[in-house]
Amino acid sequence: MSEGNYAVHWFRRDLRVAGNPMLTRLQDEYEGRVLGMFCFDKTFLARPDFSPARFQFYLKTLESLRDELRALGSDLLVCDVGPDAAFADLFKRLLETRRNLPQTVSWNRDYEPYAIERDQRMQKWFHEQGVHTATERDHILIEPHEIVKGTKPSGPYQIFTPYSRKWMEQFRTPEIFDRIEEQKKGLTYLRKLRKGSVEPNYSLTWEKVLGPGDCGWAVLQKYAKENAQKVTVAVPATGAAGVLGQLETFRKRMDEFAGARDVPSIEGTSRFSVYLKNGSLTTAQAIAAYDLHKKPKLTNGEAKFLSQLIWREFSYYILAKNPRVEKEAFDERFQRIEWGNRLDWFEAWKQGKTGFPIVDAGMRQLNETGWMHNRVRMIVASFLSKDLHINWQWGEQYFMEKLLDGDLALNNMGWQWAASTGCDAQPYFRIFNPSLQSKKFDPDATYIKEFIPELRGVAPKAIHNLSDATRPKAYPAPIVSHDQQRLLAIQLYKAQRS
């Protein structure tokens, strides 16, 4: 390896060193002469569903990544432009100062429509500059192109159960086993990092390549300072402490996961989603952490957890195979439903003032914390589309604006499932009854009372069936009749089917 050769890894949604497959590969190939680069792509920052809270968590994670890379002997260059301009400017600076271009630019693959188009464009540009590119799978375990349907009718899977069976066939192969085992090295590294016992294993900084400068640190600080003023929720811990802490916490409640995951009043879920979103954690690492790939028989909790991870990968599979779902219904029969779209009802739903306690508790949890329990996400999504007859895409966008773990593939899949417009969605005539849902999943109204202080003095039984006599004056009356709206919703969907 020539002493002047080096590589640049382009970070996107893989904000970690631990078990980062492309980074690890380059570290070996270039004997530690690897640098990191990140670009603030204005296309993402200008999206109508942009979330200041999620962006703040992303910025904090970037800060942790930069500090970690520097401690390891590498560095992170932060650019306040998209990748086209950022790499063009970098290469121009290098050539003007007679420095070598990187021999390789790498990244880990992404499956969103915009990302696929961007990566194809950038790969073509790099090759035109005479620079090699290298990519790897990362945040999902089994990529969409690896799941090949072997039965008729031909074409991609549209139903989760057969997809899951095919996924499990792949999961049991030696190749996938090795992918997961490889991530154990990453988990070991995280534990060492938390203890402060990791030795530098990189040997190149941006200062050595570009000369003195802050490498965009001022840009990162500027974004963090300005964006923080727009954030009203607590942002989770980042880095090794955040990821390892969550992995260890969930280990203690894995056995109860099958039942506890549906109870919003308890900490029964993994809470991994926020880390999975930006690549601080991956599917493979979550599986490796609990040796799920090695166990001949999983407990109920482990099996349900693995199923949730498969559903996550199914969401990316559907988006990759059907990119149009980002902007339209998967089921084309329901493309032109005549939604009522009443703005006052939408505003009441957003503020958690519909008069339906379980719905309002969920929306207030979202607004106050940047997160909502998954069971309640289904309830409030069904309520918006089938009780209020408001376009599911309005709710999809509002979730993305508020959720710390907002993810295009997962959020789109969830909303299309609840609105019965997606693949393998609940039937259009299946409409959640908010009262029955709260009785079943929050019988003591513990969750409801946590987020609706107006109801804390009301008995749980009364909360599930509020009347004029039991409803406190401070809490709103129902804005609609569930029974009436349910029948109207069925008519709306039936009209489209015919």
Pick the closest to residue 327 from 49, 29, 62 (CA basis): 49
Q: What is the model's pLDDT at position 150?
A: 80
**Residue 141 near residue 438 (C-beta atoms within 8 A):** no
* 356 three-class SS: coil
Find the radius of gyration of the CA atoms of the chain: 24
* 10 three-class SS: strand
* 7-10 vs 104-108, strand pairing mode: parallel
> Is residue 496 packed enough to be buried (19+ CB in 10 Å), middle (13-18) or exposed (0-12)?
middle
Q: What is the model's pLDDT at position 3?
A: 55
**Residue 288 near residue 181 (C-beta atoms within 8 A):** yes
pLDDT, tens digit (0-9, with 9 covering 90-100), for 97-129: 999 999 999 999 999 999 999 999 999 999 999
Pick the closest to residue 194 from 157, 239, 231 (CA basis): 239
**Residue 280 near residue 16 (C-beta atoms within 8 A):** yes
Alpha helices in 102-205 (DSSP H): 113-128, 160-171, 174-195
**Residue 333 near residue 497 (C-beta atoms within 8 A):** yes
Would you tell me how many other CB atoms lie within 10 Å of the CB of residue 148? 10
What single DSSP character describes residue 383?
Answer: I
What sign results for the dihedral spanned by CA atoms 191, 197, 201, 204?
A: positive
Domains, the chain: 332-497 (1.10.579.10)
Q: CA-CA distance, 48 to 55, in Å (whole number)? A: 13
Would you tell me how many other CB atoms lie within 10 Å of the CB of residue 359? 29
| Type and span of the H or E element at 135 | strand 132-136
pLDDT, tens digit (0-9, with 9 covering 90-100), for 172-214: 999 999 999 999 999 999 999 999 999 999 999 999 999 998 8
Q: CA-CA distance, 357 to 478, in Å (whole number)? A: 9
**Residue 461 near residue 438 (C-beta atoms within 8 A):** no
- The distance from CA 25 to its chain's CA centroid, rounded to whole angstroms, is 25
Q: What is the model's pLDDT at position 1?
A: 43
Q: CA-CA distance, 477 to 414, in Å (whole number)? A: 28
What single DSSP character describes residue 454?
Answer: G
Identify residue 263 by its one-letter amino acid code: V
* pTM metric for this prediction: 0.96
**Residue 292 near residue 146 (C-beta atoms within 8 A):** no
Question: What are 373's two structure tokens?
Answer: 């329990």
**Residue 220 near residue 59 (C-beta atoms within 8 A):** yes
Q: CA-CA distance, 182 to 214, in Å (whole number)? A: 34
pLDDT along the chain (498 residues), means of 10: 81 97 96 97 92 97 96 97 98 95 98 97 98 97 94 86 96 96 95 92 95 92 96 93 94 95 96 96 97 96 98 98 97 94 98 98 98 98 98 98 98 97 91 97 98 97 96 97 97 88
Q: CA-CA distance, 116 to 106, in Å (whole number)? A: 15
Q: CA-CA distance, 94 to 206, in Å (whole number)? A: 11
Pick the closest to residue 210 from 77, 32, 104, 40 (CA basis): 77
Question: What are 96's two structure tokens?
Answer: 């003007």
Q: What is the model's pLDDT at position 241?
A: 86
**What are the backbone dihedrals phi and psi of residue 8, each rounded to the nearest 5 degrees, phi first?**
-120, 130
Q: Buried b / exposed e across 152-161, counting CB within 10 Å, b at 16+? A: eeeeebbebe
Range 457-463, long-range pairs (CB < 8 A, 24+ positions): 463/357, 463/438
Would you tell me how many other CB atoms lie within 10 Å of the CB of residue 393? 18
**Residue 417 near residue 426 (C-beta atoms within 8 A):** yes
**What are the backbone dihedrals phi and psi of residue 442, each rounded to the nearest 5 degrees, phi first?**
-140, 55
Q: Give the residue carrying structure tokens 């390891």.
A: 72
Q: CA-CA distance, 195 to 340, in Å (whole number)? A: 56
76-79: strand order across its sheet: 76-79, 34-39, 7-10, 104-108, 132-136
